[in-house]
Amino acid sequence: MDVKKILLLFPVLFLIYWGCEEEPEDCAGVAGGSAVLDNCNVCDDNPANDCVEDCAGEWGGSAVLDSCGVCDNDSSNDCLLIHFTPISQSINIGESAVLVIEIDELSDPIFAISMEINYQTSILAFDDSSGFVAGDFFGADHIVFITEESSIIYLTVTLLQGEELIHGSGSIGNFTFTGLTAGTSNIQIPIHGLHFFDDSGNEIFPNDLVIEPAVITVLPE
C-alpha cells in the first residue's frame, strides 16, 4: 500500500476511533445521560424537584419565616399577627376607604374573637349597620356583633354552637370608612381590647401576639 493511500485512510480511522469512544456518564451512571446532582446531592434529570435553600441558608432545610420575621422550623413558637391591609391609604372627603383585618398563623383553635378598633371620628365616619363585611376566617356559619361608640368599634365574631374550632390564617372582615374632614386617622386595635375564646367561653391567650395598625389620610379639598 503506497503512502498516499495510507494518508487517505487516516481520517477514516480517526472517525472510527472516536466514534467508538463512550460518552461521559452522568451522575446516575448513564452514558450521555442528563441527570445532575442538585444542592442536596439528589441525582436526577428533573430540575423541578431540585431542593431549595431555606431561610436559614440550609439547602433542603425546613426552616421558614413566621409573620414576625423569625426563621426556624418550630411552628409552635410562631407569632400571631393581626394586621390591616393596606397599612396606609389616602382618600378625598366624601370618599370611602376599605380596610381588611387579617389574622396570620393562629395556632390555638378558637371559637370566638372580640376586639376594639379605635379611630378618629372627627376625620372618618363608620356605619356599624353596613360598614363591616365578615371575611373567610370564620367560614359561613358564624354570628357577628358590631357597634360603634365614641370613636371605638366593638366587634365580636363567633362560630355557631357545634361548629369545629378554627385556627390558621384568613380575613376576619372588611371595614369601610368615609372621609369627613382633612386629616390623618390611625386605625388600631389595643392589646387590652383583643380577646380569644374557646367553645366553653374560656379566654385563650396566644403567645407572641403582634398587632399592626393602619393609617387613613383624608386629603384637603
- At 5, is the pLDDT very low, low, confident or very high (cuts 50, 70, 90)? low
In the structure, what pLDDT confidence band is assigned to residue 105 with cuts at 50, 70 and 90?
A: confident
Kindly list the structural domains of the chain, giving each domain's residue range(s) and its CATH number in brackets, ordered by start. 3-44 (no CATH), 75-219 (2.60.40.680)
Q: Which three cell numbers stand for residue 185?
A: 386617622
pTM across the whole model: 0.69
Mean pLDDT of 9-35: 69
Residue showing cell 366587634: 155
Cβ burial of 82 (10 Å; 0-12, 13-18, 19+) is: buried
pLDDT for the residue numbered 2: 58
Instruction: Indicate if the pLDDT at residue 19 is higher than 60.
Output: no
Is residue 17 predicted with pLDDT exceeding 60? no
For residue 186, what pLDDT band results from cuts at 50, 70 and 90?
very high
Q: What is the mean pLDDT of residues 180-193?
A: 96
Cβ neighbours of residue 216 under 8 Å, at least 6 residues apart? 88, 89, 90, 91, 97, 99, 119, 123, 124, 177, 179, 184, 185, 187
Report residue 214 as a C-alpha cell.
393602619
